[in-house]
């Protein structure tokens, strides 16, 4: 690896060899497919993690043939490679790409997909290839597509679950608790839970995956990873952009549904869960569910005490004026939708009893940032008189998820000079500085895992149900916008800030403050 300041010594790197898969992408003409999925699959191919006999079939309502879709894919990948694609590899990859057009609710569409799959698998002499169906479509089409796949016999497995027929769905997994249960019932009429891959791209990020390895592959952390040594935990997921082209979606969803129900709570679960007996999909997911079920419910009569909602107002970001949420195109000028939420949670179990977890997420904030901040308790007594124990800053561990993945640990250390001269020293690790070269994107990891039949980084139905059970009472209270007595009012914050003052008060009253990097 060459010299580096961390002293990386190598280690155990195990990647399971790819197996043949036929990947069918519904919504293949859309933004997600060409912004994330196609580049991720090409990247896997370049790394020899996409089997030579694997094939990709795009499906959408847009009329195209194979050649037109391949040309669209070529242009996508030229942008992805910044014009520096290996032309030979690009042409090889494009030969693996096909296209079927048709309405998603028309049985003839699925007949053509079935015929195309059979023709491809016969040509490559691989009748037992796994199949992955990626639903890159609006959520209201999930039930229709899965039902049609079932009627066409395209998701039928044998009694051992082989060859696998996996279906990937994107968030949102419902709109609230009842709608998520309804969606699950629709899917489970056709599919087994083992076939459903609910994707949260945050779980594919290197630092998020590293939470488990940092905690459970290093003995130094486990003895202090509890309420005896940890003072509080902060989780921040901040975006500097506004609603952009998602006005229609955002007016229906809001921040709590869009970010808390999945990304934020998933990171909380990884930080706070107990050690699973093994790194096996359901063992890991069992512990995440136990953790989420241990979160203390919000007091429905005094929700405002533990959760603050707000909406961005006009402000300045990167030196330019930006509009407020209500001034955005397509937004109701009297909208009560939140673009920011901050919450204080408690986990009622032995490990975390009494430790506050502070969660926040928002749009149009000062900078793009996702991080987990673990603040440890101060030393109980100072031997360095006249320096008092309360004068010594606590140790802080920061797990950076984006934009720079890595971690940083701040400790107290002697500084050059007088005999009593100490201050904070930060041990800072950044993936890009230590591990040179191209870092895998989250969708690469998740697509590969699905093609290997590994559900570890995907979300199980009971996980979804626990998350919605926690948040649906809050959403119900907010929906009744006149009920400020229990729900609290909708505050404003300037675009380009770190959120409303009221969110600061959520921590100040406990004697803490948010970590707001410059």
Condensed to tens digits (0 to 9), the pLDDT of residues 491-514 reads: 999 999 999 999 999 999 999 999
pLDDT band at 12 (very low <50, low <70, confident <90, very high): low
At the fourth CATH level, the homologous superfamily of domain 21-170 is NAD(P)-binding Rossmann-like Domain (3.40.50.720)
Q: How far is CA 161 from CA 149, 186, 329, 446, in A?
A: 16, 20, 48, 20
- Whether 119 has a pLDDT exceeding 50, the answer reads yes
Report pLDDT digits (tens) over 480-493: 765 677 788 999 99
Which residue is listed with tokens 């790194």?
Answer: 279
453 in the Ramachandran plot: left (φ > 0), alpha (ψ -120 to 50) or beta?
left
Are residues 129 and 163 in contact, defined by beta-carbon separation less than 8 angstroms? yes
Residue length, the chain? Answer: 518
- How is residue 153 written in tokens? 């016999």
Cα–Cα distance, 153 to 150 (Å, whole number): 5
> Alpha helices, DSSP H only, in 391-460?
431-434, 442-451
Other CB atoms within 10 A of residue 413 CB = 11
Give the strands of the sheet with 21-26, arranged side by side: 97-101, 55-60, 21-26, 130-135, 165-170, 196-199
Residue 358 contacts residue 344 (beta carbons within 8 Å):
yes
Q: Using CA atoms, how far apart are residues 344 and 507, in angstroms rounded to an integer?
A: 8
**CA pair distance 37, 43, nearest whole angstrom:** 10
Instruction: Say what the pLDDT of residue 6 is.
Output: 43
| 3-state class (DSSP) for residue 106 | coil
3-state secondary structure of 379: coil
Where in the sequence of the chain do the CATH 3.30.360.10 domains occur? 203-375+441-508
- Statement: the pTM of the whole predicted model exceeds 0.85: yes
Q: Where in the chain is CATH 3.40.50.720?
A: 21-170
Query: pLDDT tens-digit profile of 303-314?
Result: 999 999 999 999
Cα separation, 361 vs 355, in Å, equals: 20
Give Cα 409 to chain centroid, integer Å: 24
Catalytic residue among 51, 175, 201, 263: 263
Task: Look up 228 and say whether it is catalytic.
Answer: no
As to burial, measured by CB atoms within 10 angstroms (0-12 exposed, 13-18 middle, 19+ buried), residue 12 is exposed
Class of domain 203-375+441-508: alpha beta
Token readout for 17 is 């060899």
58-99 pLDDT per residue, tens: 999 999 999 999 999 999 999 998 877 889 999 999 999 999
pLDDT confidence of 161, banded at 50, 70, 90? confident
Predicted local confidence at residue 429, as pLDDT: 84
CA distance 507 to 518: 19
Distance CA 298, CA 295 (A): 9
77 or 440: whose pLDDT is higher? 77
């Amino acid at each position: 690896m060459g010299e580096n300041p961390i002293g990386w010594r190598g280690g155990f790197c195990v990647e399971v060899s790819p197996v043949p898969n036929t990947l069918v992408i519904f919504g293949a003409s859309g933004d997600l497919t060409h912004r994330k999925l196609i580049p991720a699959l090409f990247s896997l191919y370049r790394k020899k993690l996409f089997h030579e006999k694997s094939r990709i079939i795009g499906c959408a309502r847009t009329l195209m043939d194979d050649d037109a879709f391949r040309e669209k894919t070529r242009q996508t990948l030229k942008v992805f490679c910044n014009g520096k694609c290996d032309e030979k590899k690009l042409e090889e990859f494009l030969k693996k790409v096909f296209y079927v057009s048709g309405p998603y609710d028309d049985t003839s569409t699925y007949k053509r997909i079935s015929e195309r799959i059979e023709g491809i698998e016969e040509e490559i002499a691989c009748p037992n290839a796994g199949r992955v169906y990626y639903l890159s479509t609006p959520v209201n089409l999930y039930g229709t597509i899965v039902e049609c796949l079932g009627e066409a016999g395209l998701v039928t497995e044998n009694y051992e679950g082989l060859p696998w027929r996996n279906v990937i769905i994107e968030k949102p997994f419902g709109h609230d608790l009842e709608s998520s249960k309804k969606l699950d019932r629709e899917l489970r009429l056709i599919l087994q839970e083992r076939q459903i891959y609910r994707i949260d791209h945050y779980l594919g990020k290197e630092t998020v995956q590293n939470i488990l390895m940092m905690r459970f592959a290093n003995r130094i952390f486990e003895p202090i990873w509890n309420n005896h040594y940890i003072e509080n935990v902060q989780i921040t997921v901040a975006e500097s952009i506004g609603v952009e082209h998602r006005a229609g979606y955002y007016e229906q969803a809001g921040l709590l549904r869009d970010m808390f129900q999945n990304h934020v709570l998933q990171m909380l679960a990884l930080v706070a869960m107990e050690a699973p007996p093994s790194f096996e999909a359901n063992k890991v997911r069992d512990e995440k569910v136990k953790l989420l079920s241990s979160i203390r419910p919000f007091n429905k009569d005094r929700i405002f005490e533990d959760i603050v909602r707000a909406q961005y107002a006009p402000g300045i970001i990167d030196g330019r004026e930006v509009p407020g949420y209500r001034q955005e195109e397509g937004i109701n000028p009297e909208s009560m939708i939140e673009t920011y939420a901050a919450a204080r949670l408690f986990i009622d179990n032995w490990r975390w009893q009494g430790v506050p977890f502070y969660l926040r997420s928002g749009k149009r904030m000062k900078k793009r940032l996702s991080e987990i901040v673990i603040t440890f308790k101060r030393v109980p007594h100072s031997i360095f008189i006249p320096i008092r124990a309360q004068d010594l800053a606590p140790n802080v561990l920061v797990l950076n998820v984006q934009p720079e993945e890595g971690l940083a640990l701040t400790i107290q250390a002697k500084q050059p000079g007088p005999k009593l001269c100490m201050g904070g020293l930060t041990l800072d690790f950044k993936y890009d500085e230590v591990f040179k070269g191209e870092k895998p994107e989250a969708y690469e990891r998740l697509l590969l895992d699905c093609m290997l039949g590994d559900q570890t980084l995907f979300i199980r139905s009971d996980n979804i149900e626990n998350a919605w059970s926690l948040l649906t009472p809050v959403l119900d209270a907010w929906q009744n916008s006149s009920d400020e007595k229990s729900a609290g009012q909708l505050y404003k914050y300037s675009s380009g800030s770190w959120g409303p003052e009221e969110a600061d008060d959520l921590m100040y009253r406990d004697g803490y403050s948010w970590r707001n990097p410059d």
